[in-house]
A and B are shown apart, each in its own frame.
Chain A
Amino acid sequence: MDTNVAAHGTSTTLVGSRRRMPPEFNIFLVLLGIALVYEILGWMFVGQSFLMNSQRLTIMILQVSVIGIIAVGVTQVIITGGIDLSSGSVVGMTAMISASVAQASTWPRALYPSLTDLPAIVPIGLGVGIGLVAGYINGQLIAKTKIPPFIATLGMMVSARGVSKWYTKGQPVSGLTDQFNFIGTGIWPVIVFLVVALIFHIALRYTRYGKFTYAIGANVQAARVSGINVEAHLIKVYAIAGMLAGLAGVVTAARAQTAQAGMGVMYELDAIAATVIGGTSLTGGVGRITGTVIGTVILGVMTSGFTFLRVDAYYQEIVKGVIIVAAVVVDVYRQKGRKKT
């Protein structure tokens, strides 16, 4: 059986054989490569193992799980050929608003003294709901006015950040209930990330929603002629991305046990980077959640590894930028190579 498959693979085209190797495999190799480099450098310069330290690995994953939750939504947007720049600001806005109804009655300076000690489901639901609305507005703008997604979500990025600053006139919101904070403690953010990733992995691969998402990204005209209501579908996709950014905002506030207007700044770019490193093509039609999960972990390993090697934070950012661009360049060449075969 195995030899049969191999023979078949070589006798047809490269594409045929590549199908048998999931595209995430390459990205996974990159992840292993980066980890190995740190491992070796660790033994050389720090005198300890990078990987054999479960505490470090846990912190690393925890740090990127919020980015990961956002990236799951961003991946879907990018597969349709769009972009979402608003997610970081939506994180800030939903963190502030959900925290404001998650305050404990024991806290002396509650924003809404009559709305304290509410069950955690209320602030969580509110945060997720407001994210959904923000995403829905993005989707409506893009579908109805036909303005480029870049501009629509840029507007939301600026306005949502404005809302989070205006909401308390810049004051942080603290004294949150333990019940609310629970979702940010321990390994919970990672679990939320993985559950979200699993749900949308299944949605993209096995549901009509997923098939239509890829079809729109591959050729929007053909999708329309095939009977897909492109506008309604795009609104759905952006609303889901907003909802996930809202969820990320809730987790961020719970993890910090406080909310500040500046939360989530630049998260949208990290999420886009994780998505693109994970093999999703900015031209649309290509991408998988599994790739995005690996891309997110790569971002985490990079940051954590630099800290581990005691690299100056300034250098970290410089190198991070280079790695993101390199990942896309590699992807472009891979696409070119595929076309020739």
Chain B
Amino acid sequence: MTLSPTTMAAVRASGAIPNAEFLLSAEGIRKEFPGVVALDDVEFKLKRGTVHALMGENGAGKSTLMKILAGIYQPDQGEVRLKGIDIRLKSPLDALENGIAMIHQELNLMPFMTVAENIWIRREPKNRFGFVDHGEMRRMTAKLFERLKINLDPEIEVRHLSVANRQMVEIAKAVSYESDVLIMDEPTSALTEREVAHLFEIIRDLRSQGIGIVYITHKMNELFEIADEFSVFRDGKYIGTHASSNVTRDDIIRMMVGREITQMFPKEEVPIGDVVLSVKDLTLDGVFREVSFDVRAGEILGVAGLVGSGRSNVAETLFGVTPASSGTIVIDGKEVVIDSPNTAIRHRMAFLTEDRKDTGCLLILDILENMQIAVLQDRFVKRGFVSEKAITAACEEMSRKLRVKTPNLQERIENLSGGNQQKVLIGRWLLTNPRILILDEPTRGIDVGAKAEIHRLVTELARNGVAVIMISSEMPEVLGMSDRIMVMHEGRVTGFLDRAEATQIKVMELAAR
């Protein structure tokens, strides 16, 4: 039986809620994005009055599934049932009206409006002249807060609230829709311990009222504390659902990482030289603390950790994008202060950023212009004039060496595939002849062929004595390419693993405390 969302809404309004085993269920869900299958034949079943955690590594498909349940994405295949009735959610609003509310990680409140206005937006109570009845709105908000045991002034502007309190407002807003299903995306990532305790109180309360809660988290201890059941995903596939009372941490880690490493990595043992870069107690206030490590010439130091562990922030600080609050950076035995990318480049560092579009490509410019921009700081320039012939020849040679697929270097970089864009950006840095190369997710979102080529290239650079720091969310890549692995969790280094001893489980244990 398929009902349109509006019919479903009418059914809800009549109070005749169908009695089904599962509050919300999804079966055979498939979702593809250009080049990747994000979800492949995935299932998910949420019972009434339970907290159901979604677990998995970065890119396992949790977020995509959650977005499908919240109406943000539409699945390519598969069915979503709300209380046994097929539904097709066309938009987040559609989901909301069907009783599915999502609380986003990046909160979606309007900072210059009051708490009450934010909660009742679009549904403001009106007085008989058709104006918003602020008194009534305040009373409605107070009643709602009383029910949720939230202690907040409904009249305060949201911008004055802490992140935790904003989260409370989001939850109150979701509850105000009389939602049956609440989806929470890492709700505790910015909260203190006390705030987390309050949040969990509210969650337990909502659970006892029969609401089903989908809870996404990277934190293992939260799973045991709050979740009744959990489902594990890996590489876009559904692995299984279990009650959280009868599993151990190790069981879950095994489910999350239990894949065979089938991809071949062109890792070579190369002679490891002297320490090139030595970092001690590097700290960026509020982001990461006391990060210390050495990298040697020819060594590939892998950096693992879940999203939000501070991996990329360490890279940005090393490169001077966000200069450190404290700590020392020593290059070739000399202490240096790196206060801008410019200084970093002068110390022969190079940094391939995580986000190609935001911080890498000059999208509207051509390949040549993209490739030459970093090296022009100190080479190929005479009295301000760029030696066009020399730089063009150098870029052409580089793009041949990296096998950039393009008819010519006058092609705009935005017309290239992700893999080719990445090669151009790597070329940009190789032209500067770096001694320390920081790669942040060097193969994210690119096809298998280009991936292998980039791996081969990184190996070759290491052989030539470059010290490589490689941040990656892909476990096989980290394990396959690194000489040593540094693992981070919540802004701290939780351990180092040598190539010989590193396994997926050991990395995961350090990454998810």
Residues of A in contact with B (beta carbons under 8 Å apart): 8, 12-13, 15-16, 19, 206-209, 211-212, 214-215, 218-219, 221-229, 285-286, 339, 341
Contacts and interface: CB of A to CB of B under 8 A. Distances in A.
Interface stretch (B160-168, B180-188, B273-281, B410-418): B410-418
B410 A19 contact: yes
A224 B358 CA distance: 12
Q: Which 8 A-B pairs have the closest CB atoms?
A: A218-B362, A227-B345, A226-B374, A12-B407, A221-B359, A227-B342, A226-B373, A19-B410
Interface in B332-365: 340-342, 344-345, 351, 353, 358-365
Given A226-B373, A228-B373, A207 B386 contact: yes
Contact of A223 (B345, B362, B363, B381): B362
A167 B324 CA distance: 49
Interface centre among A13, A215, A223 (most CB of B within 10 A): A215
Contact of A285 (B353, B364, B373): B364
A215 B362 contact: yes
Given A285-B364, A285-B365, A225 B412 contact: no
Interface in B349-396: 351, 353, 358-366, 369, 372-374, 376-377, 381, 384-386, 388
30 contacts: A8-B407, A13-B411, A16-B410, A208-B376, A208-B386, A211-B369, A211-B373, A211-B376, A212-B376, A214-B362, A214-B365, A214-B369, A215-B362, A215-B369, A218-B362, A218-B364, A219-B358, A219-B362, A221-B358, A222-B353, A222-B358, A223-B362, A224-B321, A225-B351, A225-B353, A225-B359, A225-B360, A229-B342, A285-B362, A341-B415
A219 B384 contact: no
Contacts of B412: 15
Nearest to B391: A211
A90 to B, nearest CB: 26
Contact of B384 (A15, A209, A222, A224): A209
Nearest to A207: B384
B362 A227 contact: no
Given A8-B407, A214-B365, 20 more contacts: A13-B411, A13-B415, A15-B415, A16-B410, A19-B410, A207-B386, A208-B386, A211-B386, A215-B369, A215-B373, A222-B358, A222-B359, A223-B362, A225-B351, A226-B373, A226-B428, A227-B340, A227-B341, A227-B344, A285-B364
Contacts of A225: 319, 321, 341, 351, 353, 359-360
A331 to B, nearest CB: 13
B208 interface: no
Q: Which applies to chain B's interface (DSSP): helix, strand, loop or mixed?
A: mixed
Contacts of A19: 366, 410
B7 interface: no
Nearest to A203: B384
Interface of B: 319, 321, 340-342, 344-345, 351, 353, 358-366, 369, 372-374, 376-377, 381, 384-386, 388, 407-408, 410-412, 414-415, 428
A223 B321 CA distance: 11
A219 B319 contact: no
A219 B340 contact: no
Nearest to A286: B364
Contacts of B351: 225
A245 B408 CA distance: 39
A12 B405 CA distance: 12
A4 to B, nearest CB: 13
A89 B388 CA distance: 38
A211 B363 CA distance: 14
B411 A16 contact: yes
Contacts of B407: 8, 12-13, 16
Contact of A226 (B341, B358, B411): B341
A8 B340 CA distance: 43
